[in-house]
Structure 1
Amino acid sequence: MKQPLGLILAGGRATRMGGGDKGRLMLGQRTLFARVIERIGPQVAALALNANGEVARFADLGLPVLPDGLAGFPGPLAGVLAGLDWAAVQGASHIVTVAADTPFFPEDLVPRLLLASETEGQPIALAASEAEGRALMQPTFGLWPVALRQDLRASLAQGERKVRRWAGGHGVALAPFPAGRVDPFFNINTPEDLARAEAMLG
């Protein structure tokens, strides 16, 4: 399989942070966007941002901006579909999604997702945080085949919003990542989370 394209999911409203673009939050001396781009960029053939609202506000990132195709902030699946449509135009077979508010995700995320999909013979692979013998699925960190985009479009039109349910209907491989001192999938939803992330950096 060729190197997949990458998509940063930033289409939510960040209500628990008081609104705005969470990716603009500063962690240390750099924004979350900068940290996420630095981690995912080397792992993918090209990178885009899924976000809603005024596109021009992201011009400094130098990335294609892909809004949801459905109104009302329907959730990550709409972002995945936007990425799959973009990838289809590029002639790519897969995308990998990451969340804009999760700055510590693994630097080997993409190869591990590809390996899980290939080893288990499943079309979709999702990351899982492994701690104390339990694997917690991370549904915004996944490998998605372009071949499923029309199925996803139809499912969204019928009201499907749950990533796990839709993905599970097609076959999911899990790529486990151990949660060490820092949970690689720790995400920042509140000011308290941001303070915790600052402590993790230290």
Structure 2
Amino acid sequence: MPVSAIILAGGKATRMGGLDKGLVLFQKKPLIAHVINRLIPQVDEITINANREMEAYQSLGYRVLQDEIADFAGPLAGMQLGLKHAGSEYLLTVPCDSPLLPLDLSARLQAALIQHHADIAIASSNGHTHPVFCLCKKSVLPALNDYLSHGGRKVGEWQQRLNHTYVDFSDCSEAFTNLNTQQDLMALEATLQNQAAGKLHI
């Protein structure tokens, strides 16, 4: 089934020293470029939600949408935009700071959504939920609008109100590593370099 995706890059990134997180370099490419590369085979349309550095994001060649709610309202503001502008009846949402996201994320969430007749499928691994990695039907937009209009901002809380299902990705939990600080970024780069070096010696 056709799926639209929105990459959530609209946060303040306070723990990244105020740098726009999606544009921070990881393995010599912006974090969001890694996310885009992993999404391209999985979806039919990609949109970016950003609130700063608009020209830099637009230069990537995708539609860029800015929050309609003021003062950095969080991931739900980006999800709202995605649902509002999606060209498909299904929307996949992912953050801009998880460069290892699963290559079968969309397919597995789709399968669970259909199997459980749910309105939203949410990734989880090792007992932890990953609320911003989710696939939802476009028909949940009115419920989200209502939640936001009453001051709600918590992704998980809103999702719990819907007909939802969780999808276990414990087989690849490292794929949900998100990079909140420069230290996180350097640690992951070092880990991947060590893994690559180990493979060369096998």
Same fold (TM over 0.5): yes
Contact 2:20 2:53 in 1 (8 A): no
Displacement after TM superposition at 1:57 (Å): 2.7
What residue identity is the alignment partner of 2:54?
V
After superposition, give the CA deviation of every residue in 1:94-136 in whole Å (9 maximum; x if it has no partner): 1101110011110000000001111122110011123xxxx21
Percent identity of paired positions between Structure 1 and Structure 2 = 39
What residue identity is the alignment partner of 2:59?
D
What is the 5 A alignment of 1:53-202?
Answer: 53-87=52-86, 90=87, 92-130=88-126, 135-178=127-170, 183-202=174-193
Contact 2:48 2:63 in 1 (8 A): yes
After superposition, give the CA deviation of every residue in 1:141-182 in whole Å (9 maximum; x if it has no partner): 0002111112211210100111111111112111111255x7
SS for the counterpart of 1:127 is strand
What residue identity is the alignment partner of 1:73?
F
- Counterpart for residue 37 of structure 1: 36
Query: Unaligned regions of 5+ residues in structure 2, if any?
Result: 194-202
After superposition, give the CA deviation of every residue in 1:30-87 in whole Å (9 maximum; x if it has no partner): 2211110000111000100011135223222101011111001111111100000111
Contact 2:8 2:50 in 1 (8 A): yes
What residue identity is the alignment partner of 1:129?
S
- TM superposition score normalised by structure 2: 0.91
What residue identity is the alignment partner of 1:122?
A
- Tell me the distance in 2 between the aligned counterparts of 1:35 and 1:192: 18
What is the aligned residue count?
A: 193
| Runs of 4+ residues deviating >6 angstroms | none
- Tell me the distance in 2 between the aligned counterparts of 1:200 and 1:114: 31
Displacement after TM superposition at 1:185 (Å): 0.4
Contact 1:9 1:49 in 2 (8 A): yes
